Amino acid sequence: MALRKRGIMQTDKFYIDGEWVTPASKNTLDVINPSTEETIATIAMGSIVDVEKAVAAAKIAFKMFSLTTKEERINLLENIIAVYQRRVADLAKAISEEMGSPIWLANVAHAPLGLSHFESALQALKAFKYEEPNGTTSVVYEPVGVCAMITPWNWPLNQIAAKVAPAIAAGCTMILKPSEIAPLNALIFAEILDEAGVPSGVFNLVNGDGPTVGSALSSHPDVDMVSFTGSTRAGVEVARNAAPTVKRITQELGGKSANIILEDADLETAITRDVTGLFVNSGQSCNAVSRMLVPQSKMNEAIKIAKAATEKIVIGDPFAEGTFIGPVASKAQYDKIQRLIKSGIDEGASLVIGGLGRPDGIDKGYFVRPTVFANVTNDMTIAREEIFGPVLTLIAYKNEEDAINIANDTVYGLAGAVASENLDHARKVARRIRTGMVHLNGAGLETNSPFGGYKQSGNGREFGTYGFKEFLEAKSIYGDIE
């Protein structure tokens, strides 16, 4: 089975100081399969005592691991990559079961993305120079220290590996608190690092909830850095908890990203592609471009294309052949999406397709109807709040300047998209969107390019060299160069 190692299930233990240890608390939580609403595992839930043990282990381990050579960490990353490659199928199956991702998506995206971050971190480490001259000063880069990592459930391995891989490359030690909604892949991940020979105390895992384990980690005086991915609301709490000890914080938070379909775009191609892209992972992506901005004169045509594309979306059992999207990850998420769909109806948006309740023929599981709203104005709730589900809003714009203003009229600034037949035109518009990332004509992510946002979408960057540098301190040694 995916979670077995030497015949022992590890769901009732934490990984601390290189060992699977019994938690201090007897509190547990059921892991629910969102497709069936059935319990598939029961995990231990951590306490402040468990956090203290994990932080102490990481603090001790940092003394030696921070002194390891570049070559030693290169070898370690290569070992992790080799073991990870053997466990990809286990990781994919766990993700499908615990958060509802179709198995095809788990196999081609969820599990491989984690591997990609280790490969990107390895390349960043190989190319990085830890010392550089600056006049008579030597600038030396050193690991930031003990890092707390708090990760979400929507792309669990992506967010775990995007933090752990560069931290190991930099020479940091860490404590991971994965989402309690989708924790099983993280336990397999811990097994991978253990088998790969990560030194004791360098990587530690404590399951638990945000108010208990998350708060204890973000406020702990021996934690030097918190890397957090999640909602803006939770990110604010992390920042508050971390403020008294003035630790470094990197945050990848919410988004309400706009997709500008320019006048010169091929409407059929762009809308069909981007409607389908939005629904991947049941719309549960922080960088989802869920506000589609179309020319006012082309709204009726855009509605027809978006409806036709949505009608082709197959929703159902994540393990069934042909399924394109599965359920959303939890009942809480399902209820939130239903509330927001209702708000769209109540506030006067035109419901093109989808709506409230489960899809026809499905009576169990947290399945949401792929939904499209048209004639949405940017002051409506569904245009302001992050829905985090398979819901698209079509917003009309008068002219290009109006489109740019609407795109930027949000507290968020994570991602955006521009569609145009003229790449130079798309480039000019992209440079006016106040976000950390912009996708031109459906271009996908690259794990060696910076990932992160402006405004209330967070601060700091992840992926590749950019994420690697977040785990380093710069030290000036004056007079070191004659």
**108 in a structural domain:** yes
Helix 400-408, helix 423-430: angle, nearest 10: 40
Closest CA to 181 of 328, 358, 26, 390: 328
Same domain, residue pair 331 and 189: no
For 81-135, the pLDDT digits (tens) are: 999 999 999 999 999 999 999 999 999 999 999 999 999 999 999 999 999 999 9
Are 206 and 97 contacting, i.e. CB atoms less than 8 angstroms apart? Answer: no
**451 in a structural domain:** no
How far is C-alpha 437 from the geometric centre of its chain's CA atoms?
14
Q: Domain range holding 297?
A: 258-446
**275 in a structural domain:** yes
Are 479 and 275 contacting, i.e. CB atoms less than 8 angstroms apart? Answer: no
Residue 31: give its domain's CATH number. 3.40.605.10
Residue 426: give its domain's CATH number. 3.40.309.10
- The contacts of residue 258 (CB under 8 Å, 6+ apart) are 289, 291, 292, 293, 406, 407, 410, 416, 417, 433
Same domain, residue pair 414 and 469: no
Tokens describing residue 153 = 């459930």
Domain count within the chain: 2
Q: Which of 286, 386, 462, 470 is catalytic?
A: 286
C-alpha distances (whole Å) from 228 to each of 27, 45, 204 are: 24, 19, 16
Closest CA to 177 of 147, 143, 222: 147
pTM: 0.96
User: How far is residue 270's CA from residue 418's CA, in Å, rounded to a whole number?
Assistant: 9
**452 in a structural domain:** no
Same domain, residue pair 195 and 223: yes
Same domain, residue pair 242 and 286: no
Q: DSSP 3-state assignment of 162? A: helix
**What is the gyration radius of the CA atoms in the chain, in angstroms?**
23
Same domain, residue pair 282 and 143: no
**482 in a structural domain:** no
**187 in a structural domain:** yes
Q: Would you write out the chain's pLDDT as a tens digit for each of its 482 residues? A: 234 343 345 899 999 999 999 999 999 999 999 999 999 999 999 999 999 999 999 999 999 999 999 999 999 999 999 999 999 999 999 999 999 999 999 999 999 999 999 999 999 999 999 999 999 999 999 999 999 999 999 999 999 999 999 999 999 999 999 999 999 999 999 999 999 999 999 999 999 999 999 999 999 999 999 999 999 999 999 999 999 999 999 999 999 999 999 999 999 999 999 999 999 999 999 999 999 999 999 999 999 999 999 999 999 999 999 999 999 999 999 999 999 999 999 999 999 999 999 999 999 999 999 999 999 999 999 999 999 999 999 999 999 999 999 999 999 999 999 999 999 999 999 999 999 999 999 999 999 999 999 999 999 999 999 999 999 999 999 999 99
- The contacts of residue 392 (CB under 8 Å, 6+ apart) are 275, 278, 290, 292, 306, 310, 371, 372, 373
Same domain, residue pair 340 and 400: yes
Closest CA to 181 of 148, 224, 230: 230
Q: DSSP 3-state assignment of 47? A: coil
Same domain, residue pair 386 and 465: no
How far is C-alpha 207 from the geometric centre of its chain's CA atoms?
18
User: How far is residue 207's CA from residue 213's CA, in Å, rounded to a whole number?
Assistant: 8
User: How far is residue 373's CA from residue 356's CA, in Å, rounded to a whole number?
Assistant: 12
Same domain, residue pair 169 and 222: yes
The continuous run of DSSP H or E covering 396 comes out as strand 391-397
Q: Is 386 annotated in the active site?
A: no
Q: Is 401 annotated in the active site?
A: no
Are 474 and 137 contacting, i.e. CB atoms less than 8 angstroms apart? Answer: no
User: How far is residue 103's CA from residue 35's CA, in Å, rounded to a whole number?
Assistant: 12
Q: Which of 252, 386, 462, 470 is catalytic?
A: 252
Closest CA to 203 of 212, 192, 214: 192
**173 in a structural domain:** yes
Same domain, residue pair 204 and 299: no
Same domain, residue pair 13 and 56: yes
Q: DSSP 3-state assignment of 327? A: coil
Torsion, Cα 63 69 75 77, to 10 degrees, reads: 60
Same domain, residue pair 386 and 242: no
Same domain, residue pair 223 and 299: no
